[in-house]
Amino acid sequence: MEIHEEHRDHQSQHLPRVLVIKPPAPLTLFGDKFISRRFQLLKAYESSLSLEQFLISHAHSIEAILCSGDSPVTLDILRLLPKLRLVVTASAGVNHIHMPECRRRGIAVANAGSIFSDDAADAAVGLLIDVWRKISSADKFLRQGLWSKIGDYPLGSKLGGKRVGIVGLGNIGLQVAKRLEAFGCNVLYNSRSKKPVPYAFYSNVCELAANSDALMICCALTDQTRRMINREVMLALGKEGIIVNVGRGAVIDENEMVRCLVHGEIAGAGLDVFENEPYVPKELLELDNVVLQPHRAVFTSESFVDLCELAVGNLEALFSNQPLLSPATAE
């Protein structure tokens, strides 16, 4: 047994080295042994050294990083890794990676591609249905014993015939649109450019909101989209309007959204993401017309397995000089 362990340790020294600053959830749950057979994982989170000391000690052997939104790859980290060639993130978004420095140095970036698109779309439509049909609030009403005391619960709204504006018609937005079509919704969208799709295009988000009964936020967080859903957009959406966000919290001006919800200037919200996670404005916790999730829209056991396989595929592509499976660019 000792000989076997010694042989395995010796073998691992010859595997390509991949830095893991903090373990991405899919790696923790499914992929540690799966990935460790192919690469030597340098786990900074297990070291007694500070992160800076750890990076300096391994600087000339690290060619790849495996990260997630919880472990930002900052300019300071990149500057300590002169041999770095690839950053693989377990997320679809890349706003936690210093993309300008990666571009400047020719460091490739691979993301989750379309792995999470179906799960995110399912969750987005689920949140929309929940808010419009008052499912979570009706559940709470019943559990509190109010049915027998007060009587019938207020009516919800149907989906069919509703105008739903999608902000960001990428992989996730397109899957949301397909699902909404099946419910008989009229799909509209805003994106960086017009797409070859049978949906009405609005180049202005305010105009999209004014013509929608609900807004579905499916875009990435960039300098251009940060707080793009502001008070003006919410007032254009109106008192009967719903907001669903499965993109990033900071795409919405959260303080203004809270004010609009509290004062009845929009009708409700279904939120999977928030501006300062894991902290959620306490006002949202008290509103029956708001459905909340702890940033779990894209996470299923099936997608985690697929993601581990994709991460390994991207790392193997780097070390065998093949094209990446899911190259990412800043949007």
Residues marked as catalytic: 248, 277, 295
Q: How far apart are CA 217 and CA 189, in angstroms?
A: 10
257 - beta bridge partners?
Answer: none
Cα pseudo-dihedral 214, 294, 330, 103, rounded to 10 = 170
Count CB-CB contacts under 10 A for residue 183.
15
Phi/psi region, residue 270 (left: phi>0; alpha: psi -120 to 50; beta: rest), is: beta
Element (H, E) at 86: strand 86-89
Provide the CA 316 distance to its chain's centre, in angstroms: 25
Side-chain half-sphere exposure of 296, counting CA atoms within 13 A: 8
Residues shown for the chain: 331
Q: How far apart are CA 81 and CA 89, in angstroms?
A: 17
